Amino acid sequence: NATNTVAIILAPTEPYSATESRRIRNFVERGGTVVIADDFGPHSNPLLASIGADARFSRLQLRDEREYYRGPSLPLAPNVTAAPYTQNVSQLTLNGATAVEPGNATPVVTSSELAYLDRNATGSLSAGDELGAYPVVASESIEGGQVITISDPSIFINSMLTQPDNHVFATQLIDTHERAILDYSHAGAQPPLARALVLLRTSPLLQVGGGLATLGVWLLIWRRVREGTVSSAVETLLPVRVLSLLPRWVWDRSKSGQSVELDADALRSELNEKYPDLDEPQLQQVMTAVLSERSRDEHDE
Whether residues 16 and 104 fall in one domain? yes
| pLDDT beyond 90 at 253 | no
| pLDDT beyond 80 at 286 | no
Maximum C-alpha span of the chain = 66
Cis preceding linkage at 54, omega within 30? no
Query: Which residue segment(s) compose the domain that 233 sits in?
Result: 226-301
pLDDT in tens, 45-99: 999 999 999 999 999 999 999 999 999 999 999 999 999 999 999 999 999 999 9
**Contact (CB, 8 A) for 151 and 62:** yes
pLDDT in tens, 179-238: 888 776 776 554 444 433 433 333 332 333 333 333 333 333 333 333 333 333 333 333
Whether residues 128 and 268 fall in one domain? no
pTM exceeding 0.75 = no
Q: Which helix (H) or strand (E) holds 100?
A: strand 100-101
CATH code of the domain containing 194 = 3.40.50
Residue 275, pLDDT score: 60
Whether residues 125 and 79 fall in one domain? yes
Give helix then strand counts, H and E, for the chain. 10, 15
Whether residues 51 and 183 fall in one domain? yes
CA distance 55 to 48: 7
Whether residues 218 and 111 fall in one domain? yes
β-partners of residue 181 are: 7, 220
CA distance 200 to 190: 11
Whether residues 150 and 287 fall in one domain? no
| pLDDT beyond 60 at 136 | yes
Whether residues 194 and 267 fall in one domain? no
CA distance 258 to 250: 13
- 3-class DSSP assignment, residue 215: helix
Whether residues 115 and 235 fall in one domain? no
Question: What is the mean pLDDT of the segment spanning 240-260?
Answer: 40
Whether residues 129 and 181 fall in one domain? yes
Q: Last residue of some domain: 201, 223, 245?
A: 223
CA distance 31 to 1: 8
Whether residues 66 and 183 fall in one domain? yes
Whether residues 26 and 86 fall in one domain? yes
Residue 34, pLDDT score: 96
Residue 118, pLDDT score: 96
Characterize 198-215 residue by residue with b for buried, 16 or more Cβ atoms within 10 angstroms of its Cβ, and e for exposed: bbbbeeeebebbeebbeb
Q: What's the number of domains the chain is made of?
A: 2
Q: Last residue of some domain: 190, 223, 256?
A: 223
Whether residues 125 and 97 fall in one domain? yes
| pLDDT beyond 90 at 289 | no
Q: Give the contacts of 208 (CB within 8 A, at least 6 positions apart).
A: 2, 5, 7, 27, 32, 181
Q: Which band of pLDDT confidence, cut at 50, 70 and 90, is reported for residue 285? A: low
Q: Last residue of some domain: 223, 255, 281?
A: 223
